[in-house]
Amino acid sequence: MALYAIGDLHLCLGAPKPMDVFGGAWVGYMEKLRQGMAVIGPEDTTVLMGDLSWALDLPSAQADFGWIQQIPGRKILLKGNHDYWWSTAAKFEKFCKENEFNHMALLNNNCYFYEDYAICGTRGWFFEEEKSGTHDEKVFRRELIRLEASLKAAGDREKLVFLHYPPRYKGYTCQEILDLLEKYGVRQCFYGHLHGASHKLAMEGLWDGVYYRLLSADYLNFRPYMVIK
């Protein structure tokens, strides 16, 4: 039994937007993902850290979630900035039931337990939103509320935080999220979103008592990262 995590699958079976067009590591990425995910077994748990499907709504995402269904074990999903299919938890549960997609759950205002650990998280926030002039204070505050709700739900368990956006990045920090990590005694934080040349700007390792790790699919060569063996 193991806990795995990977972000940014960018599946495109229901939307004509394959990542192969970006070249480099993304060429043939669907087959790379299929091979990489083969290490996951039926007793394992996998956290999928946002940007899962290019589909614009749940019906269009059916083929992509059919692909995700083939990943053995429990799948815990959080939202990325390109997950336009994301709706409400109730609609997602109905969608999964209708399509017989099993062992999938959304990480949203809640947490899940793995052995003595609590799996916490949300999408997060990033400087791109501010730099582009699309910073939405209401959305930002909502992300903070969701993260704190997740951390509170964990109780006294050791908290593993999974975000889509990196909370710190060379030249930028999201101080409000870092403050929550400190407040709740988080010691490990995993994130995705960064691709290609942006990998070199990732901040990994121990910073202010928290261990950070980038887990975007292309950074991992499309193999999930084992968080706990």
What tokens were used for 43?
Answer: 């007793």
Q: Are 24 and 221 a contacting pair, CB within 8 Å? A: no
Q: What is the pLDDT of residues 163-181, one digit of tens each?
A: 999 999 898 899 999 999 9
* pLDDT higher than 80, residue 122: yes
Fold of 3-228: Purple Acid Phosphatase; chain A, domain 2 (3.60.21)
* pLDDT higher than 70, residue 134: no
pLDDT, residue 142, reads 93
Spell out the domain ranges in the chain: 3-228
Q: Are 164 and 81 a contacting pair, CB within 8 Å? A: yes
pLDDT, residue 203, reads 95
What tokens were used for 207?
Answer: 């910073």
Band of residue 138 on the pLDDT scale cut at 50, 70, 90: confident
Residue type at position 153 = A
The Cα diameter of the chain in Å comes to: 45
Element at 175 (helix H, strand E): helix 175-183
Q: What is the pLDDT of residues 2-34, one digit of tens each?
A: 999 999 999 998 777 677 666 678 888 999 999
Q: What is the pLDDT of residues 43-86, one digit of tens each?
A: 999 999 999 999 999 999 999 999 999 999 999 999 999 999 99
pLDDT, residue 169, reads 87
Q: What is the mean pLDDT of residues 143-160?
A: 97
Q: What is the mean pLDDT of residues 221-229?
A: 97
3-state secondary structure 72-140: CCEEEEECCCCCCCCCCHHHHHHHHHHHCCCCEEECCCCCEEECCEEEEEECCCCHHHHHCCCCCHHHH
Q: Are 36 and 223 a contacting pair, CB within 8 Å? A: yes
* pLDDT higher than 80, residue 131: no
* pLDDT higher than 70, residue 188: yes
Q: What is the pTM of this model?
A: 0.94
pLDDT, residue 20, reads 62
What tokens were used for 135?
Answer: 């910073």
pLDDT, residue 88, reads 93
Q: What is the mean pLDDT of residues 134-161?
A: 92
